[in-house]
């Protein structure tokens, strides 16, 4: 298996766990706490993203930043994640309000796009090209 294929598989495994966390938090906040689905989606996204960062940087990607540059890596990760959050929110709103999907179905559709963004953006900006 090539390095890229191994990364995609590991990213997928980490992504499954992050996605399950995302959906559980979204469901609990929306259906049990009665938060608006977009507020709940944002909070769930943040929780899943923090988990994804820790797991991805440990098991999937080799950081291009040394120990002294970890703050820069975190800032870049947060920036990429904010873009991902914006994409998630726009897609959730679009699929629920404009298309008429149930919020959890909309989350599935949004997740596909955001996962692609996460992998590509982290591969380009966070990974050590030599590692």
Residues 113, 52, 75, CA angle at the centre, nearest 5°? Answer: 90
Instruction: Give the list of residues 6+ apart from residue 110 with CB closer than 8 angstroms, or none.
Output: 87, 88, 91, 92, 95
For residues 110 and 44, the answer to whether their CB atoms sit within 8 Å is no
User: Cα(19)–Cα(44) distance, rounded to whole angstroms?
Assistant: 9
Task: Report the 10 Å Cβ neighbour count for 22.
Answer: 26
Q: For the chain, which residues make up each domain, given as ranges? A: 3-125
Structure confidence by residue, pLDDT tens digits, 17-70:
999 999 999 999 999 999 999 999 999 999 998 898 888 878 887 776 677 677
- Confidence class for position 11, pLDDT limits 50, 70, 90: confident
């Amino acid at each position: 298996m090539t390095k890229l294929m191994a990364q995609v598989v590991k990213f997928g495994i980490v992504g499954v766990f992050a996605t399950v966390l995302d959906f559980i938090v979204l469901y609990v906040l929306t259906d049990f706490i009665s938060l608006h689905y977009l507020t709940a989606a944002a909070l769930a996204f943040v929780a899943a993203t923090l988990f994804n960062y820790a797991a991805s940087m440990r098991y999937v990607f080799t950081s291009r930043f040394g120990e002294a540059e970890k703050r820069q890596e975190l800032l870049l990760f947060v920036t990429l994640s904010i873009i991902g959050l914006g994409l998630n929110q726009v897609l959730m709103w679009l699929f629920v309000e404009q298309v008429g999907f149930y919020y959890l179905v909309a989350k599935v559709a949004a997740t596909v796009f955001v996962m692609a963004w996460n992998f590509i953006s982290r591969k380009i900006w966070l990974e050590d090209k030599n590692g």
